[in-house]
Amino acid sequence: MSTNTATPAGGSGFAAGPVRVSTVAPGVLVATEALPWARAAALSATILAGSVDEAPEIAGAAHLIEHLLFRGSSKFGPGAVDRLFDELGADLTASTDRCQTHLATWVMAEHAERAVDAIADVLWRPDLREEDVAHEREIVLEEVAMLEDSPEELTFELMGDALFPDSPLGRPVIGRRETIASLDAASLEGFHRARYAVAPVVWVGVGAVDHDALCEQVVATLPEWRAAEIALPTDERRGEPNGAPRRIVVERPSEQTHIAVGVPIFDAHGPRRAALQVLDAVVGGPPSSRLFQEIRERRGLAYSVSSFLELQQGFGAFGAYLGTRPERIGIAVDVLAGELRKIAEQGVGADDLAWARDHVAGRLGLGLETAGGRAALLSSRLSVGMPVVDPAVIAAEVAAVDGEALHEIARETLSGLEHAAVACVAPDAEGAQRALEAAGLATAVHA
């Protein structure tokens, strides 16, 4: 077992305790930060297994397995996992995205060992019984139906395919109806055993934690079928996108037309990552952002308008969203595209840059006020191959984003909107198409 210790620099405003990171087995990391005042522990396990690993015929397998983790395992019968965490006064949350599956909880220190044991057992030894698969399959199909009934959520689901056509990155994490309906216990067991055997894993504990004890428990709970050879990192697994971004317009009954415009991002680390975070704030993050002020506050064209930024290992996406009534879509999209182009061409003034940097730094600082926030930061960095650093280093990277750096990243991401990905859900598809074309969002159409 190899261990590294990163001690936060004194006077940084973020110092709490040393962060210890140990490699306890091939591809298995354990990271802890002991908080002297804490009586509870934030615990999480992140395994790099997600929808990017699925063959097209089993799309949705990773997400369905996440559902089934709560149905029972070698030590826990149906309902027993939920009862355990209810007994501990805690919640066990789970999520799946393109590249990873994440389980997390927050428990009193005296319950940490039981929580880790439960998380490890459901992660490595789930009972993928056919009757449970059939039950959860129906629940996921209901989830798909709920998503399709929400035009805003459906717009973002379509954005993946618009950004990364003909690539595993573009497929919905939730899967598609036809593939979900065909998933059975055998196919799920095959995916689980094949991918979980080789996927890197990151365990994190923050608060009242004992690093050595957590390391020992993680090793003791590893399955005998874990492979010594660990799979390639995410940026190798995903392959290269096979086509240029495109425009997807879907007609649905709705009181509003929903539009998202986005561009793919690759290799966002260090100062480049910080510049994207500041750009996100400037464009559409908080109420002071350009899009919120111009589209909502000044013109009243939308209730919901925002930007989005996703940064995974080796890839991601940046863009903007708005929802507006169909009769106003022409002017709303024109203003949206115009503001994005203006930022790309002119950059931003010193005042906007200053508050945006402060906003990003403030969000970082607020996140570090809780054990769960500190655990999330450790997990998010280690799971995408970034080193653990003093949060003051991250804050310094944000503070170092100057007008030139912001203008450069804005030009790179926003100057070619005619080639951007567009996802749109509208009650009038033809009207939406005309508005998009008039605004210069002329990506090849896939309706």
Which residues fall within 8 angstroms of residue 324, CB to CB, at 6 or more apart?
256, 257, 301, 302, 332
> Do residues 122 and 389 make contact, with C-beta atoms less than 8 angstroms apart?
no
How far is 125 from 25, CA to CA, in rounded Å?
Answer: 18
- Cα 235-236-238 angle, rounded to 5 deg: 70
40: which strand partners? 108
Task: Give burial (CB, 10 Å; 0-12/13-18/19+) of 332.
Answer: buried
Which residues fall within 8 angstroms of residue 32, CB to CB, at 6 or more apart?
19, 20, 204, 205, 206, 209, 210, 211, 214
Token pair of 245 as six digits: 């971004």
How far is 53 from 41, CA to CA, in rounded Å?
Answer: 31
> Do residues 421 and 263 make contact, with C-beta atoms less than 8 angstroms apart?
yes
> Do residues 337 and 417 make contact, with C-beta atoms less than 8 angstroms apart?
yes
Please state the φ and ψ torsions of residue 223, each to the nearest 5 degrees: -75, 155
> Do residues 229 and 137 make contact, with C-beta atoms less than 8 angstroms apart?
no
Catalytic residue status for 54: no
Q: Which amino acid does the sequence have at 286?
A: P
**DSSP assignment of 269-324, as one string?**
-HHHHHHHHHHHHHHTSSTTSHHIIIIIIIT---S-EEEEEEE-SSEEEEEEEEEE
Q: Which of 33, 66, 339, 397 is catalytic?
A: 66
Token pair 């996703």 is found at 310
Token pair of 202 as six digits: 């990151």
Which residues fall within 8 angstroms of residue 61, CB to CB, at 6 or more apart?
54, 175, 183, 187, 188, 191
> Do residues 170 and 242 make contact, with C-beta atoms less than 8 angstroms apart?
no
Burial 395-414 (b: 16+ CB within 10 A, else e): bebbeebeeebbbebbebbb
Task: Please give the C-alpha separations between residue 342 and each of 182, 215, 358, in angstroms, as whole numbers.
Answer: 48, 51, 22
Query: Which residues carry out catalysis?
Result: 66
